[in-house]
Structure 1
Amino acid sequence: MQGGAVIGIAPAGTSMLTFNGASVPVTADGRFLIAFDRDAPPSATLVATLDDGRQVSDALVVAPRAWLIERLNTLPKFPRPQPEMERLRPAEIAQINAARRVRSDSQGWRQVFLWPTTGRISGMFGSQRVYQGQPGAYHSGTDIARPAGTPVLAPADGVVILAADHPFTLEGNLLMIDHGMELNSAFLHLSRIDVHVGERVRRGQVVGAIGMSGRATGPHLHWGLKWRGSRIDPLLLAGPMPRAE
C-alpha cells in the first residue's frame, strides 16, 4: 500500500531483480526490500532474471490510502521570506542528501521496528494542508509529543549517517540512521544527540533525546523513514503505538 514497505523473497537462481525498472539488491538468502511512496501509483512490477536467462515477473497492486487533508482558506501557502534560511538551507540539504547516499551493511531492515518513543501521536504521516486552494507539502513523518529530554531509541539496528553538529533551520538537531538496503530513519528537533557518524547502533539503544530545536512549536519527536526516494509511514513498520511507560 501507499507508504508501506515489503520484504520479499526472490525466486531461486535470481541473478538480477528490478522494481519498476530499477535494480534492487538481493541478499544471499534471497531477501530484498521494496517500498512505496505516499503518492505511489496504483501498480508496480517486479522482474527477476534467472541464471538461465528466463524472466519471472510479478504485477503488484498498490492500495491507495485516504490522507488527512486540512483546508485553510484564510492563510497563504508561503510565509514571508526568511533571508537567513535561504542562505543556510542549500548546504543543509546537500548534507542530508550526502548522508542518504551512504550505503551500510546493516541488517536492521530485517527486524521488527520499535517506536523510538511512545506517546501521543500529534502529527500523522501523509497529512496535508491546502492553503487557499494551493496544496502544501505533505507531512513526511510521524510526530510524537513527549516532554523535552525524553530518551529516543534506535528503532532497529543501523549505522549513524548524520549527526548534526549544530541545529538545522527546519530539522533542528538532526540524527539519521541507515538500516541497510537503503532504508534510513531521520529524527528531528532533538535536544541532544548521543551518537556519532559511523557508529553502529543496536535496536533499543538510546541515541538522543526529544527537544524542540529547529522549526517546532513544542517538544516532540518527528520520525521519518525513507527508502531511496520513497517516504514511508512509520506506523506501518512499527505497528500500533503502544501505551507510554
Structure 2
Amino acid sequence: MRAITQIIFTSVLSGLAFQANAAVELKGELVQGALVRAQVQPGTQVFLNDEPVKVNAQGDFVFGFAREAQLEQMLKLVYPGGLTQLKPLTLKKRAYKIQNITGISKKIMKPDPKAQARAAEDSKQVKVARAQFTASNAFNQDFIWPLTGRISGVYGSQRIYNGKPGTPHYGVDVAAKTGTVVVAPADGVISLSVPDMFYSGGTMIIDHGYGVNSSFLHLSKLYVKPGDIVKQGDKVAEVGSTGRSTGPHLDWRINWYQMRLDPTTVVPSMKSVLAREK
C-alpha cells in the first residue's frame, strides 16, 4: 500500500512539475493592432482561436491582433505528451484618431475606374508577397526604427468624407526630406520592390519570417531587389513623396501575413529614441 501511495505521489509531483514548465511567455502588449512574439516548450502545438500558428524548433512563434480585433481571444497549447492548456487573452481596446471632412464635391468622391484597375493589380502583388512563409527567425529580433524623426501619421487613424468612412491608415508616417535613407528594421529578405505603384508609389516589402513583414511606401529610390538578403540597419531605400502622397515621408507598415498591425508595438517610442540621439 505504501509503495502504491508513493508512486501516486511521485506521479502527481511529476504532473505539477510538467505543468509548471508548460507555460507560454508573451513579449508585447495585449492590445488591438499589436504584434506579439511568444515562446513555449519546443514541440508544442499552438492555436489562436482554433487556427494553427507555426512554431519554430526553439518554441518561438508570433501572432497579431487586427485594428478592430475582438477583445477576448484564446490561445490553445498542446504540449508534447498530449497535455492541452487553454490560455484566455484579454486585449485592451484602442481609441483611434477619427477626422470628419464634409463639403467634398461628388466629382472628387467618384472613383476613377482606370485608377481602381491599376490599384487592384498593385494590391495583388502586395498580397502575394505578404502571403508567403519563410522559416527565418528574424521576426524575433528587437526591431529598430527604419528612420527617426517627427511622426506625422499614426496607425488606425481614419477620415470620414461626407459621412462615408475612408480606409483607415494602417502605418506610421515619419516625416523626412526626400532622399533621407531608410534602413531595414530587422533582418529579412526582399519580397517586393516596385518603384511606381499607383497609391503607394515606390514600394518595398521585407519578409522577416513566420508571416511577419515590413512595408515601406512612397519611396523615391529603392536600393535592393526581390530575393536580396538584408541585415538589420542595412540601407534599403530613400524617403520620397511618390504615389498619392501630400509630402515627403516614410509610411512604414507591419503585417502578420495579411493582418495589418501597428509598427509602434515592436519598437521603442520615437521620443525615447530621439532623446538618445541628442
Please tell me the TM-score bracket, short chain as reference: over 0.9
1:185-237 Cα shifts (integer Å, max 9, x gaps): 00001011001101110000000000111000111100011112321111111
CA distance, structure 2, for counterparts of residue 178 and residue 9 of structure 1? 20
Which amino acid letter does the alignment assign opposite residue 228 of structure 2? E
Query: In the alignment, what sits opposite 2:240?
Result: 211
Change (3 A) 1:71 1:223: same
| Greater RCO (Cα-Cα under 8 Å, separation 6 or more) | 1
2:112 aligned with 1:94: no
Query: In the alignment, what sits opposite 2:47?
Result: 18
Query: In the alignment, what sits opposite 2:168?
Result: 138
2:218 aligned with 1:189: yes
Secondary structure of 1:238's aligned partner:
coil
Preserved CA contact (<8 Å) 2:131 2:258:
no
TM-score, normalization by structure 1 = 0.93
Change (3 A) 1:163 1:83: same
CA distance, structure 2, for counterparts of residue 84 and residue 228 of structure 1? 28
Aligned-pair CA distance for 1:20: 1.2
Which amino acid letter does the alignment assign opposite residue 67 of structure 1? Y
Percent of counterpart pairs with the same letter?
37
The structure number with the bigger radius of gyration is 2
Aligned-pair CA distance for 1:76: 6.4
CA distance, structure 2, for counterparts of residue 110 and residue 163 of structure 1? 23
Which amino acid letter does the alignment assign opposite residue 204 of structure 1? G
CA distance, structure 2, for counterparts of residue 134 and residue 204 of structure 1? 41
Aligned-pair CA distance for 1:239: 1.9
1:153 aligns with one of 183, 190, 197: 183
Secondary structure of 1:95's aligned partner:
helix
Bigger shift: 222-231 or 207-216?
222-231
Bigger shift: 57-66 or 2-11?
2-11
Preserved CA contact (<8 Å) 1:106 1:159:
no
TM-score, normalization by structure 2 = 0.83
Preserved CA contact (<8 Å) 2:54 2:61:
yes
Query: In the alignment, what sits opposite 2:62?
Result: 33
Which amino acid letter does the alignment assign opposite residue 121 of structure 1? I
Which amino acid letter does the alignment assign opposite residue 224 of structure 1? R
Preserved CA contact (<8 Å) 1:76 1:132:
no
CA distance, structure 2, for counterparts of residue 7 and residue 76 of structure 1? 45
Number of positions where the alignment pairs a residue of Structure 1 with one of Structure 2: 243
